[in-house]
Amino acid sequence: MYKAILFDLDGTLTDPKQGITRAVQYALAKYEIIVDDLDQLEPFIGPPLASSFQEHYGFSASEARTAVDYYREYFADRGIYENEVYGGIRDLLERLAEQKRTLILATSKPTVFAKRILSYFQMDSYFDVICGSNLDGTMSDKADIIAHILRSQQLTAESAVMIGDRKHDLIGAQRNGVDSIGVGYGYGSEEELRAQSPKYYVRSVRELQALFEPATAV
């Protein structure tokens, strides 16, 4: 029975596709790279942004940092709210809170944006800790974020589980000896998630809820 439940944000608690892809589209346009089909930009949902600009468009480290700045010009005022909570998530958080679990947000998104999103959707009250990256790009790797959470909250690896929709969430958990739950309703494929050998794999929020019901509590 896990004491601490670590949640990813994008693709796990909320569907941020519209806001993130439009912000990436805006940033790429600054480099005269025009992408009309937002579906092509889905790979940017989840991983650290700077790394994604380098991986998918061959940007240098310096160009990637500037692209992130352009991204935030759009995201900070508009994209952050082009987002929606997955159905069933509020009920899940309510149940976990009733079970006296410690709920922690573990996201590669800057902490300042993560807090604004949870507050906007009135979900911040469920979380004991909100931990993301820094605006300067440091601590954006999920393994570093989880390590910081374990250390600062004095948690053992065995007492925690990481829930996420991309391989970065599961790899980050593995590197810290933490169990993980891959969720198939987000933006990572089943193949991507199962390749990281999560403790559990679920296809829907309902299946995720079922893991924490008394008869099968984890």
**Residues catalogued as catalytic:** 8
Sign of the C-alpha dihedral, residues 94, 155, 132, 86? negative
CA dist list (Å): 191 to 195, 208, 212? 6, 18, 24
> Which stretches does DSSP call E strand in 32-172?
84-85, 102-110, 129-133, 160-164
HSE-CB for 72 with a 13 A CA cutoff = 15
Enumerate helices (H) and strands (E) in the chain, giving the number of each: 9, 8
Q: Which two tokens stand for residue 153?
A: 């909250």
Measured in degrees and rounded to the nearest 5, phi and psi for residue 195 equal -65, -20
204: nearest Cα among 186, 217, 191, 218: 186
Q: Is 60 exposed, middle or buried (0-12, 13-18, 19+ CB in 10 A)?
A: exposed
